[in-house]
Amino acid sequence: MSLQIYNTRTKQKEIFKSFREGKVSMYVCGPTVYDLLHIGNFRGVIFFNCVRHWLEQSGYEVTFALNYTDIDDKIIARAAEKNISPTELTAFYIQAYQDDLKLLNLKPHDINPKCTDHIDDIIALIIKLISDGFAYEVAGSVFFDVHKFKDYGKLSGKRLDDLAAGHRVDPHPDKRHPFDFVLWKPSKDQEPFWESPWGNGRPGWHIECSAMCHAHLGEHVDIHGGGIDLIFPHHENEIAQSECFTGKSFVSFWMHHNFIRFGEEKMSKSLGNVIKARDYMETYHPEVLKYLLLSVHYRSELSVETKQSYQCISALSRVYSALRDADSLANDNAVATDEFIGMIKSTYQLVKTSLNDDFNTPKAFAAIFECVRSFNHEVTSKKPKDVTLQGAARVFVTCIREIGGYFSLFQEEPVLFLKSLDQIMVKQLNLDVAYIEDLLVQRSHARANKDFKKADDIRDELLAKNVLVHDSRDGTTWEINKHFESSQ
């Protein structure tokens, strides 16, 4: 099965075909940089990173642009509050965003254009839209005339007549139609401005993405993405501007990811229930955030509660425990059984089918867990010296690392990563490491004195607190039981 992508415009899955042979251009609407980003803002970044990896895996050369909106009302207001210039404010939050991205260890975007670097492109676009009759100027403002674009509404399915009936829009004295949108607006006192044929002002929001797409990816984009809240009006307006400017089709595939909920509510700044990505990564781990955001299909809502994070930790610990075991068993010269090699091949195939089916990441993860289960079965049913087990360990590591790469997951060093999961859970469960270590010393004394009753009691006491004790020839170690059913 070849790659199929759900296209918001046609409301169905379509076989993916790029405009130019072997090359894909992707544009994703990025953040407005006036604050730290919450985990919902990262859903698109992490998902489209997977899209990009999979397209490359499928043989395409991908150019991925994600923009920064670095001038708008919120930026101007926040900068004024802080008594700094908008440029200082946005530089700070662009850096903060890039720091967060670095923690996630995703493939860097090829281009991160900024609106303020493209004012000349924006002005040129607006001049042509006016001269071709699609836009008009009134007292220093320029508006796009939605009635001049016959396909207006083709993305969102909204029709201007229905919009007029269903929405109460404050009539703007300068607009010909209430749904005409602003391309350029005059700057108020103290606001940043750029010179233009219509006086000093600044661009409206929608026009920047059309200008940056054209500047960096050309007149046609293969994949344009963003959150579902951008479908209307932002992306609808981008289509209107771009197609009126070029007279050609703007985007082949429109892809939109769904919201994140916190409990029952949508996560949003106005509801005050946001979790900053940085805080989440500090409490848990960037790997947990990536896993969490990909564990649900991108077009479904994702609910984030403590329980979900614990489930992700449990899932990651299963994969990494198997990787740790495999690392210690793998032998470069050993060969796995035909049956195991067949299982590995079918894992690749299942992941491929899942990702080709509109990036069904949960289904791909299920295939990875089947593979982990098969490997764990090899480990429990064979002796460490068994060469077929050593061969299985070798191909298992290669398979999980390679497939994990499509998601930017499973690349951590297993022993260290499992240790950091332990530390996370020690904090989450309010455990005291000194207390655990002290009990283990008492237990080893009891064992030395052949007081096995006491040793077992201590083991049970620790187990009740989700601490697992392992005895081996090299001594006793402990770890947190990460597969417990959390009641929190």
Binding site for Zn ion (CB under 5 A): 29, 209
Enumerate the H helices of 28-155 as residue ranges.
41-57, 73-82, 86-104, 119-131
* Least separation in angstroms between CB 298 and Zn ion: 18
Quote the CA–CA distance of 446 and 366 in Å, as a whole number. Answer: 43
DSSP class of residue 270 equals G
CB closer to Zn ion out of 73 and 402: 73
Cβ distance to Zn ion smaller for residue 86 or 233: 233
Neighbours of 440 (CB within 10 A): 19
Contact call for residues 213 and 226 (beta carbons, < 8 A): no
User: Who contacts 260 (Cβ-Cβ below 8 Å, separation ≥6)?
Assistant: 39, 40, 43, 266, 267, 301, 302, 303, 304
Q: Between 29 and 135, name the residue whose CB sits nearer to Zn ion.
A: 29
Question: Is residue 252 within 8 Å of residue 19, measured between CB atoms?
Answer: yes
Beta-bridged to residue 302, according to DSSP, are 260
Q: Which residue type does 359 have? A: F
Closer Cβ to Zn ion, 196 or 241, answer by number: 241
- Minimum Å distance from CB 69 to Zn ion? 7
Considering the complex, state which of residue 135 and residue 209 has its C-beta at the smaller distance from Zn ion: 209
Q: How far is the CB of 67 from Zn ion (least distance, A)?
A: 7
In 389-436 the beta strands, taken as DSSP E runs, fall at none
**Residue 135, both tokens:** 């836009």
Q: How far is the CB of 106 from Zn ion (least distance, A)?
A: 20
CB of 238 to Zn ion, least distance (A): 6
| 3-state DSSP assignment of residue 9 | coil
Place of tokens 């894909």: 24
Nearer to Zn ion, 31 or 153 (CB): 31
Of residues 326, 483, 293, the one with CA closest to residue 413: 326
User: Nearer Cβ to Zn ion, position 209 or 293?
Assistant: 209
What distance lies between CA 453 and its chain's CA centroid? 51
Task: Give yes or no for a contact between 355 and 349, defined as CB atoms under 8 angstroms apart.
Answer: no
In the complex, minimum distance from the CB of residue 259 to Zn ion, in angstroms, rounded to a whole number: 17
CB of 31 to Zn ion, least distance (A): 10
Instruction: Give the span between the Cα atoms of 207 and 237, in whole angstroms.
Output: 8
| Closest CB 349 distance from Zn ion, rounded Å | 36
Q: By C-beta, is 70 or 378 nearer to Zn ion?
A: 70
| Minimum distance, C-beta of residue 145 to Zn ion, in the bound complex (Å) | 21
If the CB atoms of residues 253 and 310 are measured against Zn ion, the closer one turns out to be 253
**Minimum CB separation from Zn ion for residue 208, in Å?**
7
Largest CA distance in the chain: 94
Kindly state the helix (H) or strand (E) to which residue 142 belongs, with its residue range.
strand 141-144
Taking each continuous run of H as one helix and of E as one strand, the counts in the chain are 16, 15
**Nearest-angstrom CA–CA distance, 405 and 418:** 19
Q: Which is nearer to Zn ion, 214 or 394 (CB)?
A: 214
Measured distance CA(19)–CA(220) in Å, rounded: 8
